[in-house]
Structure 1
Amino acid sequence: MFKVDTPNTDEDFAKYFHFRWVMLRKPWNYPEGSEKDEYEQVGLHRMVTNTDGEVIAIGRLHFNTPEEAQIRHIAVHPDYHGKGLGKLVVSALEGVARSQGIERIVTNSREVSTPFFKSCGFEVVGEATTELGQLKREQMVKKLTELNAVMLHPKWCKALQDTWYETIPISEQMGIKLYQYTGRTLEVRASLNKNINLHGTMFAGSIFSLATLTGWGMLYLQLKEKQLDGEIVLGDADIHYHKPVSMQPRALCNIESVSGKFDTLAKGKKSPFKLVVELHDGHNAVAEFRGVYWILPPADEKE
């Protein structure tokens, strides 16, 4: 599973800016250094690296006013296109903006990137100044609301949230809430205050429940994606706790961890699915859940 990090060291920033130059300036024969602007010192930088420590995706956020933030320099290595890394970076930057009470995010998008930003919830509001003196750009805006924190299929996500609360009422009491769905990654959060033990950390059972619902939710949304119906049940699970949760409980399930055959379900047969949910306390990994779920076809389709 890929994770968004903040560059901290001189080495981190050297790799970060070199990647930005290679992806966004070198193709137009601009020298190294041209990738930087006057907002670098006040900007909030994020990057994704692979297992070899190589930068494969980046992005930056800076604040224009107390109400408005701007996203710039989103780039993903061509070898990693289609894995949702661009949305992962935008989501991380958007999360920072929301935490600061920002009401809207703007970006000036090249025409080729406009569909990507539209998929992240941005709307075109006009033309922007050209980039590098030759690249036409469009000004795009996303007004931040509670609902559109979910980037993809907000109606499905609301239906999932409602299903949890209606069928498992204690999930609402635990403050379990779908935070975002990008199509590739589902993030669910819970309230620490509603699940706190005498040590000031989250109950292990609450962590397990958060992970179980996150895995269940990923399969629910994948059924929607594939226009299938089915009943999802947990068959087996294993969880390893590494550290306590003392700040912000977060559960993330990535589509790459999901294995199973939806075509078997489409034929009216039950099918097992395995997946992994990573539990985080803020940005720190604290536990790993491995679940085996069964998806049963609707009653009228069972053999």
Structure 2
Amino acid sequence: MYKVVTPKSDAEFEAYFHFRWEHLRQPWNFPPGSEKDEYEQVAEHRIITNRKGDIVACGRVHLNTAEEAQIRHIAVHSDHQRKGLGQMIMAALENVAKDLGAERAVTNSREISIDFFSSCGFKIEREAPNELGMLKRQQMVKKFTENNSLILHPKWCKSLQETWSETIPITEHMGIKLYQYTGRTLETRASLNKNINIHGTMFAGSIFSLATLTGWGMIYLQLKERGLDGDIVLGDGDIHYHKPITMKPRAICNIETLSGKFKPLENDNKARFELSVAILDGDTPVAEFEGVFYVLPLSKNEEE
């Protein structure tokens, strides 16, 4: 399972800066220390870690003005590329920028990164100053709106939200909304006000429901990706709580946690899947959910 984490201790920052240098500066023969600049103390830093706690991606954001945020130092370990981690770190940084009140984000992209930033909604505005005096870059801009998060296959995502509302009424009562879907990562969010207990924190049962529906939603969208259909049911669910949620309930399911075979459904047989969902309060991990889901072929259900 991948987690977005904010480095806090000296050791975490040391590992973070080393990762930045190793992936963004060392390939160009720049010495250690060249990965840092004058904005480190006023910037927000984020890393993605794997199950072992190793850093596999990183990024940084700081405000240029009250309205403009600058995103820099996006890097993903070569062994973990093409898993949606670039979009995952970008989404985390954009959320930080929006929380800080920014109305737009800018980034100075090298030629090899333009396609990635374009896929995240950025557009080339003009040529930017060369990086470290030699690396040619283009300045790219993304204007924030109420909902310009990354939504792949918007029709499927709309269908999922409607299915939740029509067949799982608790979704509406909890204020659960699909926030983004990249094809590899599904993020949902819930209303804290609709799920708050006498302690001012989110009900444990609501957290479990948010995790379950997010896992359910990931399987729903993966069925759509393959042109399949079926009734999705929860077989078993286990959740570990670490901290209460007091601000912004979020659930993230990454496709790398999904295991199981879709082939049985093609032959009208039941399929079994396991997956993990990370629960966060803003960017702070607070719980992990492990679920077993079954997909029942529609033809057999209709016969019964």
Shorter-chain TM-score range: 0.7 to 0.9
- The alpha carbon displacement at 1:194 in A equals 0.8
For 2:26 and 2:104, the matched residues in 1 are separated by 31
1:53-68 equivalences under 5 Å are 53-68=53-68
Instruction: State the AA in 2 paired with 1:137.
Output: R
- The alpha carbon displacement at 1:21 in A equals 1.9
The secondary structure found in structure 2 opposite 1:127 is: strand
8 Å contact kept, 1:121–1:151: no
- 1:204 corresponds to: 204
8 Å contact kept, 1:64–1:70: yes
- 1:12 corresponds to: 12
Matched, 1:252 2:252: yes
User: CA distance change for structure 1 residues 191 and 42 in 2, over 3 Å: closer, same or farther?
Assistant: same
- The alpha carbon displacement at 1:301 in A equals 11
8 Å contact kept, 1:62–1:69: yes
- 2:182 corresponds to: 182
For 1:7 and 1:158, the matched residues in 2 are separated by 35
The secondary structure found in structure 2 opposite 1:31 is: coil
Whose RCO is larger (CA < 8 A, sep 6+)?
Answer: 2
Q: Deviations over 1:206-251 (max 9, x none)?
A: 2232122111111111122223333322333344445543333222
The secondary structure found in structure 2 opposite 1:245 is: coil
8 Å contact kept, 2:260–2:273: yes
User: CA distance change for structure 1 residues 250 and 36 in 2, over 3 Å: closer, same or farther?
Assistant: same
The secondary structure found in structure 2 opposite 1:41 is: helix
For 2:202 and 2:224, the matched residues in 1 are separated by 32
User: CA distance change for structure 1 residues 106 and 151 in 2, over 3 Å: closer, same or farther?
Assistant: farther
Matched, 1:88 2:88: yes
- The alpha carbon displacement at 1:157 in A equals 2.4
- 2:291 corresponds to: 291
- 2:264 corresponds to: 264
User: CA distance change for structure 1 residues 280 and 25 in 2, over 3 Å: closer, same or farther?
Assistant: closer
Pick which of 274-283 and 171-180 moved more: 274-283
Could you tell me the percent identity over the aligned residues? 67
8 Å contact kept, 2:3–2:50: no
User: CA distance change for structure 1 residues 268 and 138 in 2, over 3 Å: closer, same or farther?
Assistant: farther
Q: Deviations over 1:91-138 (max 9, x none)?
A: 111110111222211111111111211222222333323333333322
C-alpha RMSD of matched pairs (Å): 2.6
For 1:113 and 1:182, the matched residues in 2 are separated by 18
User: CA distance change for structure 1 residues 140 and 82 in 2, over 3 Å: closer, same or farther?
Assistant: same
Runs of 5+ unmatched residues, structure 2: none
8 Å contact kept, 1:156–1:224: yes
> Structure 1 length normalisation: TM-score?
0.88
> Structure 2 length normalisation: TM-score?
0.88
- The alpha carbon displacement at 1:283 in A equals 4.1
Pick which of 81-90 and 278-287 moved more: 278-287
Instruction: State the AA in 2 paired with 1:246.
Output: T
User: CA distance change for structure 1 residues 35 and 289 in 2, over 3 Å: closer, same or farther?
Assistant: closer
1:143-158 equivalences under 5 Å are 143-158=143-158
- The alpha carbon displacement at 1:74 in A equals 0.7
Matched, 1:217 2:217: yes
For 2:284 and 2:35, the matched residues in 1 are separated by 31
Q: Deviations over 1:30-56 (max 9, x none)?
A: 222222222222211112344555433
8 Å contact kept, 2:215–2:276: yes
For 2:39 and 2:286, the matched residues in 1 are separated by 34
